[in-house]
C-alpha cells in the first residue's frame, strides 16, 4: 500500500507488473478455475481491449474512460461469440482450448494487416506528461499506475470471492467437476458457461486498457501472441487453479522468480540470450511436477487455513 | 497470373504439405493413443532441423542420410520423455499436462537460442538448386525428395500400426485403456513406444524440412501451432487426416502467399481451423468422438 514512498522506480514497476498478472490471472481463473473452460487465447481480450481504447485515444483523442466501455463491450461480444459457437457445437476440453488459440492467432495476423491501427509497425499513444496526475486521460507518474492496478486487483479479488459463493459460483464448480451431472441436475450449462466467459473477457478487457495506457505502445506481434496468453495463465496454474489466492501468489512467485533469475545471471556474468528462459522453464517444470495443484493449496493447509 | 505459375505454386504447396503432414502425423499419433497434446511438438521439429544442420556442417552428411541417426536419437528421446515425464501426468487434468509440455517447450526453444544463437541456419546441397521439368511445370528436386521421404515414413508407420503385433497392441490401448490393461498389455510401455514413434515422424519431417527452409529458434512455436491446425483440420487421432490436413494447409499457405501476402498465409490456416472446428469438430477424416 505504501510501497511507492520507499521503493525505487524499478521496484515499483515490478510491483505493478505483479499486480497486472495477478489481476489478469484472476480474470482467466473465472473461466478456467471456476467454470472449467480452458482458454489458451486470453491475449485476444487483452489485445482487443487495448487496441479499442488505444485507437479511440489515438485517432479521436477520446480518453480511456469512454474507451474502457468500448473495450469491455467488444471483448464481451467477442467472448460470447466464441463461447456461443464453441458451446453450441459441443466443443470442449482440448478442442475448446485450441479454438481459443485459433481465434487469438487469427486476430493477431489480422491486426498485422490493419493499417488503420498501425499494422505490424505498432500503434504509439502520445505520452503527454508524467509529473502530475491526470485521471481523466489516465496519465501520471508510475505510482498512479501502481495504485490503479492495486485497486483493480482488490476489486477482482472481492468480486471473485463473491462470485465463488454465489449461485453462479456453485453452478460453475458443478460444471467444472462434471458437466453431464450438472446438466442432469437441471443446470443450463450453456447459459452459465457463457456467463463465465462474459465476466472473464470483460475483466481481461480492463487489463488491455491498462496495458495500452501504461506502456503506450501496442504491437499485434506482442500483445496477441500465444506466449502472452501463456504468461497470463502461468500465474493461476502455478499459484493454484480455482483458488482466490492462487493467481495473486502465482503472479508474485513468477515475476520475482523471473527477475531473480535475471539478476542472478547478471551477477554471475552469464548474460547470453535464452539462458534466463531456460532456467525459468526448468523451475516451471519442477513446480508442475512436484506441486500438481499449485503452490497455494498445500501452503494454505500448512498455514492452517481451511482448504 | 499465368496458369503455369499457379500450377507450380500448388505443386510446391502439396509437396511441402506432405512434410507438414508427417510432422502433424506424429502429433496425431501421440494424441490418439496417449491423449496428451504435445505442446512441444514444433520445438522438437526445430531440434531435428538443427541436428541435421550440425551433422551436415561437421560430417558433410546429406540431410537424407541424417534421417537415420536423428530418428534413432529422437525415438530414444521420445521414449524417455514419455516414460519419465508424461506418464505420471496421464491421469492429471488437461491444464496440468498442458503446463508440463509448455515448460518443456520453453526450455527447448531457449536452449536452442542459447546454443545456436538467433541467426538462421541451413544446409546447402547441390540438388537444392535443380529441378525437374515436365512440360512447363518445374518441380524442385529437394522438395520432391523431401515429400518422398515423408510419404515413405508415413507409409511405414501405417504398416506398423496395421500389421505388427506391437502396433495392434498400441491401437488396443487407444481404443480401450481399461480393456488393454485387463488383457495384460503394459500400457505405460506402449505409451512410451508411441511417443517414440511420434518423435520419429518429427525427426524425419525435420530432416526433410531443413532442405526447404532456414531454421531459427522461433520456428518451433510456429510449427507447434501449425501442427495443431493440421491435425484438427484433418481429424485429431486420424492418421490419413494428418496427411490430408498437411496438404490442405500447404496448398492454402502457398496460394495465400501468391495471391495476398506471404505474411497473411497463416491467417488462412487459422480461418480454416475455425471453420472446421465449428462445422466438423472431429476433423475432415476424424470419427465422431
Quote the ipTM score.
0.83
- Closest residue on chain B to A279 (Cα): B107
Q: Does B100 touch chain A (CB under 8 A)?
A: yes
For residue B201, give how far its alpha carbon lies from the nearest alpha carbon of chain A (Å): 22
> Rounded to whole angstroms, how far apart are CA atoms B21 and B2?
28
Cβ-based burial of A255 (10 A; exposed 0-12, middle 13-18, buried ≥19)? buried
Among B86, B87, B277, B286, pick the best mutation site for testing chain A contact (most A Cβ within 10 A).
B277
* Cβ contact, residue pair B106, A280, below 8 Å: yes
Q: Does B139 touch chain A (CB under 8 A)?
A: no
Residues in CB range of B71: below 8 A, 6 or more apart: B200, B203, B204, B207
Question: What pLDDT, on a 0 to 100 scale, did the predictor assign at position A129?
Answer: 61
Res A160 pLDDT > 90: yes
Question: What pLDDT, on a 0 to 100 scale, did the predictor assign at position A278?
Answer: 87
Residue A212 maps to a domain: yes
Mean pLDDT, consecutive 10-residue stretches, chain B (289 aa), reads: 83 94 94 89 96 93 92 95 90 85 92 91 85 83 92 94 91 86 89 95 95 92 90 85 92 86 80 82 74
Res A229 pLDDT > 60: yes
Q: How many CB atoms lie within 10 A of CB B59?
A: 11
A78: chain B residues, CB-CB within 8 Å: none
Residue A153 maps to a domain: yes
Q: In the structure, how many helices (H) and strands (E) does chain B have?
A: 11, 2
Among A278, A293, A295, pick the best mutation site for testing chain B contact (most B Cβ within 10 A).
A278
pLDDT (average), residues A163-171: 91
Q: What angle do CA A110, A114, A119 make, to 5 degrees?
A: 95
B37: chain A residues, CB-CB within 8 Å: 94, 98
Confidence bin at A2 (pLDDT 50/70/90): low
Question: What pLDDT, on a 0 to 100 scale, did the predictor assign at position A130?
Answer: 66
Number of structural domains found in chain A? 1
C-alpha distance across the termini of chain A, in Å: 27
Positive or negative torsion for Cα A63, A68, A74, A78: positive
Question: What pLDDT, on a 0 to 100 scale, did the predictor assign at position A110?
Answer: 87
Residue A289 maps to a domain: no
CA distances from B98 to A23, A38, B18 (A): 22, 10, 27
> Rounded to whole angstroms, how far apart are CA atoms B278 and B233?
11
- Does domain B3-279 fall under CATH 1.10.3470? My reply is yes
Nearest to B107 among A94, A282, A288 (CB): A282
Higher-pLDDT residue of A93 and B63 is B63
> Rounded to whole angstroms, how far apart are CA atoms A170 and A35?
9
Cβ-based burial of B141 (10 A; exposed 0-12, middle 13-18, buried ≥19)? middle
Confidence bin at A128 (pLDDT 50/70/90): low
* Cβ contact, residue pair A274, B225, below 8 Å: no
Residue A242 maps to a domain: no
Confidence bin at A271 (pLDDT 50/70/90): confident
- Closest residue on chain A to B103 (Cα): A281
Residue A95 maps to a domain: yes
- Closest residue on chain A to B39 (Cα): A98
Q: Does B102 touch chain A (CB under 8 A)?
A: yes
Q: Does B275 touch chain A (CB under 8 A)?
A: no
A272: chain B residues, CB-CB within 8 Å: 114
CB B13 within 8 A of CB B147: no
Please give the residue range of the domain that contains residue A32: 8-225
Strand pairing report for A123-124 and A217-218: antiparallel
Res A13 pLDDT > 90: no
Q: Does B118 touch chain A (CB under 8 A)?
A: yes
A282: chain B residues, CB-CB within 8 Å: 103, 107
Question: What pLDDT, on a 0 to 100 scale, did the predictor assign at position B1?
Answer: 61
> What are the boundaries of each domain within chain B?
3-279
Nearest to A273 among B37, B118, B267 (CB): B118
For residue B26, give how far its alpha carbon lies from the nearest alpha carbon of chain A (Å): 17
Nearest to A275 among B31, B114, B261 (CB): B114
* Cβ contact, residue pair A288, B99, below 8 Å: yes
Q: Which of residues 236-265 of B touch A (CB under 8 A)?
A: 236, 261, 263-264
For residue B261, give how far its alpha carbon lies from the nearest alpha carbon of chain A (Å): 10
> Rounded to whole angstroms, how far apart are CA atoms B174 and B194?
10
* Cβ contact, residue pair A277, B106, below 8 Å: yes
pLDDT (average), residues A85-107: 85
Q: How many CB atoms lie within 10 A of CB A290?
A: 8
Q: In sequence order, which ranges of chain A are alpha helices (DSSP H)?
A: 3-6, 9-29, 43-60, 64-88, 94-112, 142-164, 167-177, 179-184, 189-215, 220-223, 226-239, 246-267, 275-290, 296-303
Amino acid at each position: 500500500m505504501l510501497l511507492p514512498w520507499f521503493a525505487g522506480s524499478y521496484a515499483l514497476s515490478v510491483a505493478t507488473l505483479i499486480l497486472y498478472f495477478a489481476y489478469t490471472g484472476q480474470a482467466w481463473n473465472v473461466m478456467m478455475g471456476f467454470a472449467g473452460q480452458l482458454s489458451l487465447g486470453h491475449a485476444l481480450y487483452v489485445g482487443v481491449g487495448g487496441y479499442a481504447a488505444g485507437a479511440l485515444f489515438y485517432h479521436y483523442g477520446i480518453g480511456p474512460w469512454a474507451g474502457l466501455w468500448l473495450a469491455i463491450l467488444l471483448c464481451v461480444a467477442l467472448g460470447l461469440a466464441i463461447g456461443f459457437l464453441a458451446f453450441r457445437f459441443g466443443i470442449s476440453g482440448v478442442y475448446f482450448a485450441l479454438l481459443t488459440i485459433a481465434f487469438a492467432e487469427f486476430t493477431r495476423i489480422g491486426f498485422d494487416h490493419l493499417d488503420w491501427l498501425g499494422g505490424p509497425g505498432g500503434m504509439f499513444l502520445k505520452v503527454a506528461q508524467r509529473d502530475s496526475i491526470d485521471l481523466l486521460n489516465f496519465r501520471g507518474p508510475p505510482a498512479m499506475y501502481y495504485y490503479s492496478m492495486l485497486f483493480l486487483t482488490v476489486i477482482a479479488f472481492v468480486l471473485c470471492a463473491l462470485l465463488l459463493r454465489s449461485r453462479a459460483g456453485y453452478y460453475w464448480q458443478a460444471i467444472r467437476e462434471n458437466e453431464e451431472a450438472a446438466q442432469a441436475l437441471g443446470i443450463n450449462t450453456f447459459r452459465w458457461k457463457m456467463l463465465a466467459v462474459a465476466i472473464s473477457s470483460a475483466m481481461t478487457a480492463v487489463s488491455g486498457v491498462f496495458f495500452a495506457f501504461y506502456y503506450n505502445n501496442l504491437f499485434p506481434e506482442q500483445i496477441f501472441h500465444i506466449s502472452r496468453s501463456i504468461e497470463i495463465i502461468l500465474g493461476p496454474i502455478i499459484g493454484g487453479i480455482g483458488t482466490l489466492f492462487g493467481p495473486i501468489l502465482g503472479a508474485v512467485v513468477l515475476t520475482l522468480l523471473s527477475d531473480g533469475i535475471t539478476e542472478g545471471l547478471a551477477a554471475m556474468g552469464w548474460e547470453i540470450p535464452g539462458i534466463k528462459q531456460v532456467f525459468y522453464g526448468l523451475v516451471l517444470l519442477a513446480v508442475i511436477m512436484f506441486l500438481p495443484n499449485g503452490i497455494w493449496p498445500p501452503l494454505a493447509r500448512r498455514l492452517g487455513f481451511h482448504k | 497470373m499465368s496458369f503455369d505459375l499457379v500450377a507450380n505454386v500448388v505443386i510446391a504447396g502439396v509437396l511441402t504439405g506432405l512434410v507438414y503432414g508427417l510432422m502433424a502425423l506424429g502429433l496425431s499419433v501421440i494424441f490418439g493413443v496417449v491423449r496428451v497434446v504435445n505442446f512441444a511438438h514444433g520445438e522438437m521439429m526445430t531440434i531435428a532441423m538443427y541436428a541435421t544442420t550440425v551433422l551436415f556442417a561437421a560430417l558433410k552428411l546429406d540431410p537424407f542420410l541424417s534421417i537415420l541417426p536423428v530418428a534413432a536419437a529422437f525415438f530414444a528421446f521420445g521414449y524417455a520423455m514419455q516414460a519419465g515425464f508424461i506418464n505420471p501426468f496421464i491421469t492429471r487434468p488437461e491444464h496440468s499436462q498442458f503446463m508440463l509440455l509448455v515448460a518443456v517447450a520453453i526450455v527447448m526453444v531457449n536452449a536452442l537460442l542459447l546454443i545456436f544463437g538467433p541467426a538462421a541456419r541451413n544446409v546447402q546441397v547441390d540438388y537444392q538448386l535443380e529441378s525437374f521439368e515436365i512440360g512447363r511445370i518445374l518441380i524442385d528436386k529437394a522438395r520432391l525428395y523431401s515429400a518422398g521421404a515423408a510419404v515413405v515414413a508415413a507409409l511405414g508407420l501405417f504398416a506398423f500400426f496395421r500389421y505388427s503385433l506391437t502396433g495392434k497392441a498400441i491401437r488396443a490401448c487407444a481404443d480401450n485403456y481399461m480393456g488393454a490393461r485387463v488383457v495384460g498389455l503394459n500400457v505405460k510401455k506402449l505409451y512410451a513406444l508411441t511417443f517414440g514413434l511420434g518423435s520419429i515422424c518429427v525427426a524425419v519431417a525435420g530432416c526433410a524440412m531443413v532442405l526447404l527452409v532456414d531454421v531459427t529458434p522461433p520456428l518451433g512455436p510456429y510449427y507447434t501451432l501449425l501442427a495443431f491446425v493440421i491435425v484438427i483440420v484433418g481429424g485429431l487421432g486420424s492418421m490419413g487426416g494428418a496427411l490430408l490436413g498437411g496438404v490442405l494447409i500447404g496448398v492454402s499457405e502457398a496460394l495465400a502467399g501468391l495471391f495476398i501476402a506471404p505474411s497473411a498465409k497463416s491467417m488462412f490456416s487459422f480461418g480454416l481451423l475455425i471453420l472446421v472446428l465449428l462445422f466438423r469438430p472431429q476433423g475432415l477424416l476424424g470419427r465422431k468422438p
